[in-house]
Amino acid sequence: MGVRDNFVYSKKDLMVGGVAAAIVVVMLGLGFGLTTGASLPATEQAESKEPPNDAYEAALQILEQYPVIDGHNDFPLTIREIFNNDLEGWNFDSDLSQHPKFQDYPMKQTDLQKMKKGRVGGQFWSAYMSCNTQYKDATPLYLEQIDVIRRLADKYSQQMVFVTSATGIEKAFAEKKIASLVGVESGHAISSSLGVLRMFYEAGARYMTLTHSCNTPWADSSESEGGNEPVLNNGLSGFGEMIVKEMNRLGMMVDISHVSSNTMRDALKVTRSPLIFSHSSARNVTNVSRNVPDDVLEKVRLNGGIVMVNFYDCFVIEDCNAKNATVQDVVDHINHIREVAGVDHIGIGADFNGVTKTAEGLEDTSKYPNLFAALLEDKKVYWSQQDLAKLASGNLIRVFKQVEQVRDALKMEKPYQQLIPIGDLGRNTYCMSDAGLERAP
């Protein structure tokens, strides 16, 4: 979810002792920031109606062998807004822009036909509900969104498969299906509960974005940098650090898109695993708080994480109300992240169906080859086939595997069992029962 709430559609301590030493050894052994993208099986070639040119045809050939994994797509919320989470009476394997209920809907960006044309081999589907649900019914609503993601993959099982691991993605590639994963967008989903976090993992969630456009009681949102939200913790609270470490223990990727710069920095300090930005771009290129500052990009390189670049106009160019972004503008963000963080730390998180306006030439999920063709034609930075394979999916698979390896190294660590201190909730206890309030202040 990029900025849906602003549009018409609402949409400290590291471990000590022997286990800590083991984690250090594991992380050094993994070579964070140094490993190359994985070699991935080919996908089935689909007929393209794009205008033929050498770069475009070369991009198609690369993506046949190394399909795209996109870090963030909000189509599950579209299902809720248009179809009330009912999967009957419409066909995901059709051109949904022609469906009557999409005629007045501003985001006709995703369906299986478009994804096949775009050479998508993996998709993190966003389980998201608005910040208006925080302190209310966020948790059951998010669970409904995970349910609809799983049902969608099951209904279209000839083309999609629900997966929860890096090897599951690779197996889906080999079977020429779209690996479908859950990303929980915003920590308000878990109602400040470590127990709920664990249950989301059991339900299949493999990353959680720490905030959306609102603070959680334990993490500051990017909106706090612009004054739209107060600065509560100047980053992560102690409980927020515990959430990051529990996600490491579970093997759930920590997503720091949408958070403030100080939350980014705090998360990078406390994590035992590589972190991800599921849909963010470079702040040095476009100075908005949703993008990643250069000092954080440098820390991402050291951490071994990944920044998955967003296609939304207002994260890609400064004056998005006066002009349209182009593919080259997105290329500029990718090249800058490559320059600062390195080619092993870039991916794609377009934010389709979460924003109404994306760069020209990247209007929907069929258009990823245009981006790869532009990179091949780029005059400033040379992109080899291996580099493009990393960008497409290799880097994300590498990060996912390293998160799983740290999880395995932490298998003897006990779950974090603390409840959030009542004082951290401030005045936001009006929807809590007495049972929820019975704890030490």
Q: What confidence score (pLDDT) does residue 46 get? A: 38
**Cα R_g (the chain), whole angstroms:** 20
Are 97 and 152 spatial neighbours (Cβ–Cβ below 8 Å)?
no
Residue found by looking up tokens 């009006």 in the block: 430
pLDDT at 161 over 70: yes
pLDDT at 147 over 70: yes
pLDDT level of residue 13 (50, 70, 90 thresholds): very low
Q: What confidence score (pLDDT) does residue 107 get? A: 96
Q: What confidence score (pLDDT) does residue 48 get? A: 41
Q: Compute the residue count for the chain.
A: 441
pLDDT at 384 over 70: yes
Q: State the burial class of residue 54 (Cβ atoms within 10 Å of its Cβ: 0-12, 13-18, 19+).
A: exposed
Give catalytic residue positions.
72, 74, 185, 212, 258, 279, 351
User: Across all residues in the chain, what is the average pLDDT?
Assistant: 90
Report how far apart, in Å, the C-alpha atoms of 208 and of each of 192, 248, 332 are: 13, 11, 27
pLDDT at 21 over 90: no
Residues 62-94 have pLDDT tens digits of: 999 999 999 999 999 999 999 999 999 999 999
pLDDT level of residue 434 (50, 70, 90 thresholds): confident
Number of H helices, E strands in the chain: 17, 9
Q: What confidence score (pLDDT) does residue 229 get? A: 97
Here the tokens at position 283 are 């702040």
Query: Which class is domain 4-415?
Result: alpha beta
pLDDT level of residue 436 (50, 70, 90 thresholds): low
pLDDT at 136 over 60: yes
| Residue 403 or 39, more confident | 403
| Residue 195 or 33, more confident | 195
Residues 285-325 have pLDDT tens digits of: 999 999 999 999 999 999 999 999 999 999 999 999 999 99
pLDDT level of residue 34 (50, 70, 90 thresholds): very low
Are 106 and 81 spatial neighbours (Cβ–Cβ below 8 Å)?
no
What average pLDDT does this structure show over 347-374?
98
Are 311 and 362 spatial neighbours (Cβ–Cβ below 8 Å)?
yes
| Alpha helices (H) in 342-431, listed in sequence order | 368-377, 385-389, 395-409, 422-425
Q: What confidence score (pLDDT) does residue 27 get? A: 45
Residues 196-208 have pLDDT tens digits of: 999 999 999 999 9
Q: What confidence score (pLDDT) does residue 437 get? A: 63
Proportion of the chain above pLDDT 70, given as a percent? 87
Q: What confidence score (pLDDT) does residue 433 get? A: 87
**Residues with Cβ < 8 Å from 424, sequence gap 6 or more?**
192, 217, 218, 237, 239
pLDDT at 20 over 60: no
State CA 371 to chain mean position distance: 19
Q: What confidence score (pLDDT) does residue 8 get? A: 29
Here the tokens at position 423 are 């004082």
Q: What confidence score (pLDDT) does residue 239 get? A: 98
Nearest-angstrom CA–CA distance, 253 and 400:
7
Residues 100-129 have pLDDT tens digits of: 999 999 999 999 999 999 999 999 999 999
Here the tokens at position 160 are 């999609």
Nearest-angstrom CA–CA distance, 209 and 372:
27
pTM above 0.85, yes or no: yes
Rounded to 10 deg, the angle between the 395-409 and 166-174 helix axes is 140
